[in-house]
């Protein structure tokens, strides 16, 4: 009996904590997806933004300055386009992720038999967006900000991640500011070029990452109200302050 009650409570907490695309104010678009070799190859970032605007979203490239009202990264969705390998057919589908990397929505797969890559990718992405447009997106004002801490048992797994958002506040006027883009295992930090400057891998601590920069591996740690890239060089510990906007 106790197990049934516990299961019911857990189910309710999971359902109560579920998110939808309508809970988010805008979408951040990376300039390069995993299957691409260069930024905006085949105009994929451009086509993505065009479709997002058509679907009713506010959309910004990862290297764009985000309006002041959208300063909390957990009020935003992060889009990713995936390629499904198939013979003689180009297949793409879209994923929307939250600030923790959790998939909020996955589109239907768009297909194209065109041989020209640019034409095929555009047609496939346009077709994938048909299912997204059909969702009739409209922001509902229910976004969970990074300052809110979930209290249910089902949400306990993401509590520690919130610390990253509540850690050092980035100076947006800093010309060397790096922007964090969620990846499967952590983040990649890009500059305004945009160029990937550093890759971060999650650890058991939300205020510390395994960091790789210019082939040098170290750690990125939050301390003294800032982020510091620390590594050893000639047997000496080097601590380099990094300005990051998560």
Answer yes or no: is 2 within a domain.
no
Residue 54: the pLDDT is 96
Whether 61 maps to a domain, the answer reads yes
Q: Are residues 126 and 171 in the same domain?
A: no
Residue 203 and residue 118 share a domain: no
pLDDT of 72: 78
DSSP state of 31: S
Q: Are residues 69 and 111 in the same domain?
A: yes
Query: Of 198, 240, 237, which is closest to residue 221 (Cα–Cα)?
Result: 240
In this structure, are 127 and 208 located in the same domain?
Answer: no
Residue 78 belongs to a domain: yes
Q: What is the CATH number of the domain that holds 25?
A: 3.40.50
- Contacts of 245 by beta carbon, 8 Å cutoff, 6+ apart: 73, 170, 172, 177, 178, 179, 180
pTM (global) more than 0.85: no
- Give the HSE-up count for residue 104: Cα atoms under 13 Å, Cβ half-sphere: 25
Residues 33, 118: one domain? yes
Domain termination residue (choose one: 112, 133, 154): 133
Q: At what angle do helices 117-133 and 44-54 cross, to 10 degrees?
A: 20
Q: Name the domain count of the chain.
A: 2
**Residue 168 tokens, joined:** 């050092």
| Domain stops at, among 133, 153, 188 | 133
- List of residues 6+ apart from 154 with CB closer than 8 A: 10, 13, 14, 17
**What 3-state DSSP class applies to 4?**
helix
pLDDT at 59: 95
Q: Find the domain containing 112 and state its range.
A: 16-133
Residue 154 lies in a domain: no
- 93 within a domain of the structure (yes/no): yes
Same domain for 22 and 83, yes or no, is yes
Average pLDDT per block of 10 residues along the chain, 246 residues long: 46 51 93 91 96 96 83 87 90 91 93 95 97 94 57 38 56 84 87 85 88 92 91 90 89
Backbone angles phi, psi at 8, to 5 degrees: -65, -40
Confidence at residue 182, expressed as pLDDT on a 0 to 100 scale? 87
d(CA 144, CA 212): 31
| 174 token code pair | 């800093």
Residues 126 and 37 in one domain: yes
């Amino acid at each position: 009996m106790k197990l049934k009650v516990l299961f019911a409570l857990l189910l309710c907490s999971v359902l109560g904590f579920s998110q939808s695309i309508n809970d988010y104010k805008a979408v951040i678009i990376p300039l390069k997806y995993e299957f691409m070799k260069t930024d905006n190859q085949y105009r994929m970032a451009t086509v993505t933004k065009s479709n997002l605007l058509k679907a009713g979203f506010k959309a910004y490239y990862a290297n764009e300055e985000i309006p002041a009202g959208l300063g909390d990264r957990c009020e935003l969705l992060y889009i990713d386009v995936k390629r499904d390998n198939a013979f003689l057919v180009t297949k793409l589908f879209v994923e929307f992720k939250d600030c923790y990397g959790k998939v909020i929505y996955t589109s239907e797969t768009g297909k194209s038999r065109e041989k020209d890559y640019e034409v095929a990718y555009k047609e496939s992405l346009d077709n994938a967006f048909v299912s997204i447009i059909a969702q009739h997106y409209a922001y509902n004002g229910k976004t969970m900000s990074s300052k809110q801490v979930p209290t249910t048992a089902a949400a306990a797994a993401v509590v520690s991640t919130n610390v990253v958002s509540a850690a050092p506040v980035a100076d947006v006027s800093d010309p060397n500011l790096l922007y964090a883009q969620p990846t499967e295992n952590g983040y990649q930090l890009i500059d305004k070029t945009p160029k990937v400057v550093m890759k971060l891998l999650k650890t058991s601590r939300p205020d510390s990452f395994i960091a790789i920069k210019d082939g040098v591996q170290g750690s990125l740690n939050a301390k003294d109200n800032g982020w510091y890239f620390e590594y050893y060089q000639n047997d000496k510990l080097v601590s380099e302050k990094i300005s990051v906007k998560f």
